């Protein structure tokens, strides 16, 4: 078949595929990691107004945000009786808490007397009950009415009828999800392949070592989409192309709700005019290493005959991080150790299971402004085998103008990468509004996850999914 006859979506970057390269590591990888699951989903332009229109945003609220499962907090944030986290989304506010019986419950954060929020937006803490700060109506952690000051004045309030309204709650892999829709299908329908793929990637047995919350000046979808493809790496992060196979990245689609990329590390960009040798790649990996324990000042490791930089780097990382975390990582494959493997769960969360990239992302609208987003970035590190549980980090907040370099202890190389990623967003949001062309034109392969996001969103908007 000639190139021109190749069906849409079937073109790939020339050269070895991600699958070929992972197989050449010659170690034991989960089967799904070397299986491709791309689907061609059409090539129509995506209208810019989906990122800018107040009407469209309101449709998203009514038909998607109030209908879909969404990650509200980590289970360890509500590990003890009375621990609570307030999760705010599209003008709503929800208290997620641990009850005395050990369940996790979610309540609308509003007093049944005159509406006051029972806990401040985005707050967290430990409480023995839910007491309204205005007049003192009080509910138990189970949501039962416990106290009404001047009870004599409310003979019409039936204690049993005055429980706090609850939202649906389900947990997966250490994450607490909520759903405003009482009739929603179970979370498992939305998770799709995730439980199977994450069978050996336990994110529940981890703790949050770093938590960054940054305001971003663009629509939530544009912010998420900036992290769904590696196509931008050459132009936006040119400093890193010796060590990342950007155009080799594999993109997978799993139904409506889950997508994945597998972005190779320790393999040079196909864009490079002359390909570096394996020792040069290893040296560059050490120069760029961005995770605690990965660095090795003036390392003296050599790539031996028949070895790859990927393998030498992964072995070093497993040993160093194993010592740092008091864990045995020897069973991990090269890919599970160093590649950027990113799963996106509709609508707004990304999970990274590999050792070198232990991040989780969430992109949610900031209030009801289609131009503003809150980006939550967590680092989940393994709990030590010794069983001593470190304290989880609380959010370090950055405004739109602030740089990731301002975060104490954050790796400077990584800070530059996040500044580069988020630095494009304001001009993109402005460009959406300035454009005389009505929509964006996506690459069929590298930007397929963006198209899937929009198509699934449309299924909510049309009522096909609810
Ligand atoms: S508004 Fe809550 S007790 Fe009055
Ligand atoms: Fe990026």
**How confident is the model over 418-445, as pLDDT tens digits?**
999 999 999 999 999 999 999 999 999 9
Q: What is the mean pLDDT of residues 304-320?
A: 94
Domain coverage including residue 125: 70-183
pLDDT > 60? residue 294: no
Q: Of 107, 108, 114, which is best to mutate to test ligand 1, by the most ligand atoms within 8 angstroms of its C-beta?
A: 114
Give the pairing of strands 124-126 and 83-89: antiparallel
The answer to whether residues 7 and 99 belong to one domain is no
The band of 241, judged by pLDDT with boundaries at 50, 70 and 90, is confident
pLDDT at 390 (0 to 100): 84
- Does residue 131's CB lie within 6 angstroms of at least one atom of ligand 1? no
The answer to whether residues 152 and 102 belong to one domain is yes
Q: Which of 126, 153, 183 is the last residue of a domain?
A: 183
The answer to whether residues 395 and 454 belong to one domain is yes
Summarised one tens digit per residue, pLDDT across range 332-386 is 999 999 999 999 999 999 999 999 999 999 999 999 999 999 999 999 998 877 7
- On whether residue 320 sits in a domain, the answer given is no
- Does residue 145's CB lie within 6 angstroms of at least one atom of ligand 1? no
Closest residue to atom 3 of ligand 1, CA basis: 135
Beta strands per DSSP E along 48-196: 70-74, 83-89, 92-98, 104-108, 124-126, 130-131, 138-139, 145-147, 166-172, 175-179
- On whether residue 387 sits in a domain, the answer given is yes
- On whether residue 165 sits in a domain, the answer given is yes
Query: What is the widest separation between alpha-carbon atoms in the chain?
Result: 86
Q: What is the mean pLDDT of residues 223-240?
A: 95
Give the domain CATH number at 108: 2.102.10.10
Give the domain CATH number at 454: 3.90.380
Q: Which atom of ligand 1 is nearest to the CA of 111?
A: 2
- On whether residue 381 sits in a domain, the answer given is yes
- On whether residue 322 sits in a domain, the answer given is no
* CA of residue 32 to ligand 2 center, whole Å: 24
* CA of residue 126 to ligand 2 center, whole Å: 37
pLDDT at 114 (0 to 100): 98
The closest ligand to the CA of 117 turns out to be 1
The answer to whether residues 179 and 212 belong to one domain is no
pLDDT at 84 (0 to 100): 98
pLDDT at 463 (0 to 100): 94
DSSP 31: G
The band of 40, judged by pLDDT with boundaries at 50, 70 and 90, is very high
- Does residue 149's CB lie within 6 angstroms of at least one atom of ligand 1? no
- Does residue 134's CB lie within 6 angstroms of at least one atom of ligand 1? yes
The answer to whether residues 345 and 410 belong to one domain is yes
Q: Of 137, 138, 147, 157, which is best to mutate to test ligand 1, by the most ligand atoms within 8 angstroms of its C-beta?
A: 137
The answer to whether residues 151 and 235 belong to one domain is no
Closest residue to atom 1 of ligand 1, CA basis: 114
The band of 1, judged by pLDDT with boundaries at 50, 70 and 90, is very low
- On whether residue 193 sits in a domain, the answer given is no
pLDDT at 120 (0 to 100): 98
- On whether residue 300 sits in a domain, the answer given is no
The answer to whether residues 30 and 173 belong to one domain is no
193, 32 contact by CB (below 8 A): yes
- Does residue 137's CB lie within 6 angstroms of at least one atom of ligand 1? yes
Alpha helices (H) in 4-106, listed in sequence order: 18-24, 49-52, 54-60
> How many domains is the chain partitioned into structurally?
2
pLDDT > 90? residue 404: yes
* CA of residue 226 to ligand 2 center, whole Å: 7
How far apart, in whole angstroms, are the C-alpha atoms of residue 183 and residue 168?
Answer: 9
How much of the chain, in percent, has pLDDT values that exceed 90?
86
- On whether residue 118 sits in a domain, the answer given is yes
State residue 8 phi and psi, 5-degree precision.
-55, 140
Q: What is the mean pLDDT of residues 251-260?
A: 98
pLDDT at 334 (0 to 100): 98
Closest residue to atom 4 of ligand 1, CA basis: 135
Closest CA to 118 of 135, 98, 99: 135
pLDDT at 142 (0 to 100): 98
The answer to whether residues 225 and 92 belong to one domain is no
Q: Which of 123, 148, 183 is the last residue of a domain?
A: 183
* CA of residue 244 to ligand 1 center, whole Å: 56
Residue 261, helix vs strand vs coil = strand
The closest ligand to the CA of 340 turns out to be 2
pLDDT > 60? residue 295: no
The answer to whether residues 87 and 141 belong to one domain is yes
The answer to whether residues 164 and 212 belong to one domain is no
- Does residue 11's CB lie within 6 angstroms of at least one atom of ligand 1? no
pLDDT > 80? residue 292: no
Q: What is the mean pLDDT of residues 144-173?
A: 98
378: enclosing H helix or E strand: strand 373-382
- Residue with the larger pLDDT of the pair 296 and 285: 285
Over the chain, what is the mean pLDDT?
Answer: 94
- Does residue 218's CB lie within 6 angstroms of at least one atom of ligand 1? no
* CA of residue 161 to ligand 1 center, whole Å: 16
Radius of gyration of the chain (CA): 24
Closest CA to 48 of 449, 426, 447, 436: 436
Give the pairing of strands 130-131 and 92-98: unpaired
pLDDT > 80? residue 52: yes
Q: Which of 152, 183, 214 is the last residue of a domain?
A: 183
The answer to whether residues 367 and 439 belong to one domain is yes
How far apart, in whole angstroms, are the C-alpha atoms of residue 36 and residue 50?
Answer: 30
pLDDT at 290 (0 to 100): 53
State residue 360 phi and psi, 5-degree precision.
-135, 135
Angle at 325 between CA 319 and CA 331, to 5 degrees: 50
The answer to whether residues 413 and 376 belong to one domain is yes
114, 124 contact by CB (below 8 A): no
Closest CA to 460 of 179, 178, 63, 185: 63
pLDDT at 326 (0 to 100): 86
């Amino acid at each position: 078949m000639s190139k021109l006859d190749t069906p849409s979506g079937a073109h790939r970057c020339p050269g070895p595929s991600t699958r070929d390269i992972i197989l050449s590591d010659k170690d034991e990888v989960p089967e799904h990691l070397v299986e491709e699951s791309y689907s061609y989903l059409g090539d129509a332009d995506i209208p810019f107004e989906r990122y800018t229109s107040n009407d469209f945003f309101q449709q998203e609220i009514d038909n998607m945000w109030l209908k879909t499962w969404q990650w509200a907090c980590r289970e360890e944030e509500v590990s003890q009786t009375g621990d609570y986290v307030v999760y705010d989304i599209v003008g709503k506010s929800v208290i997620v808490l641990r009850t005395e019986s050990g369940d996790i419950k979610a309540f609308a954060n509003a007093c049944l007397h005159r509406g006051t929020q029972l806990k401040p937006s985005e707050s967290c803490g430990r409480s023995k009950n839910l007491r309204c700060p205005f007049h003192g109506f009080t509910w138990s952690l189970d949501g039962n009415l416990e106290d009404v000051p001047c009870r004599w004045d409310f003979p019409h309030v039936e204690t049993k009828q005055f429980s706090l309204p609850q939202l649906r709650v389900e947990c997966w892999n250490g994450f607490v999800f909520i759903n405003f829709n009482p009739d929603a299908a179970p979370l498992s329908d939305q998770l799709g392949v995730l439980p199977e793929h994450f069978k050996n990637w336990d994110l529940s047995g981890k703790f949050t070592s770093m938590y960054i919350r940054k305001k971003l000046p663009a629509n939530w979808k544009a912010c998420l989409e900036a992290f769904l493809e590696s196509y931008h790496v050459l132009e936006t992060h040119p400093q890193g192309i010796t060590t990342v196979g950007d155009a080799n990245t594999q993109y997978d689609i799993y139904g409506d709700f889950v997508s994945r990329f597998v972005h190779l590390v320790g393999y040079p960009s196909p864009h490079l005019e002359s390909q570096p040798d394996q020792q040069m790649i290893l040296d560059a990996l050490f120069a760029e290493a961005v995770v605690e324990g990965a660095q090795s000042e003036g390392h003296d490791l050599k790539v031996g005959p028949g070895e790859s930089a990927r393998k030498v780097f992964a072995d070093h990382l497993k040993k160093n991080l194993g010592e740092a975390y008091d864990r045995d990582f020897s069973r991990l494959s090269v890919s599970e150790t160093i590649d950027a493997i990113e799963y996106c769960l509709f609508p707004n969360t990304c999970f990274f299971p590999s050792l070198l990239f232990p991040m989780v992302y969430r992109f949610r609208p900031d209030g009801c402004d289609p131009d503003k987003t809150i980006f939550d970035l967590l680092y989940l590190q393994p709990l030590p085998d010794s069983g001593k549980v470190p304290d989880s980090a609380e959010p370090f907040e950055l405004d739109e103008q602030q740089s990731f370099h301002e975060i104490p202890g954050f790796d400077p190389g990584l800070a530059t990468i996040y500044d580069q990623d988020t630095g494009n967003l304001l001009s993109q949001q402005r460009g959406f509004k300035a454009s005389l062309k009505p929509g964006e034109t996506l690459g069929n392969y590298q930007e397929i996850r963006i198209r899937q996001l929009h198509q699934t969103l449309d299924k909510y908007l049309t009522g096909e999914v609810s």
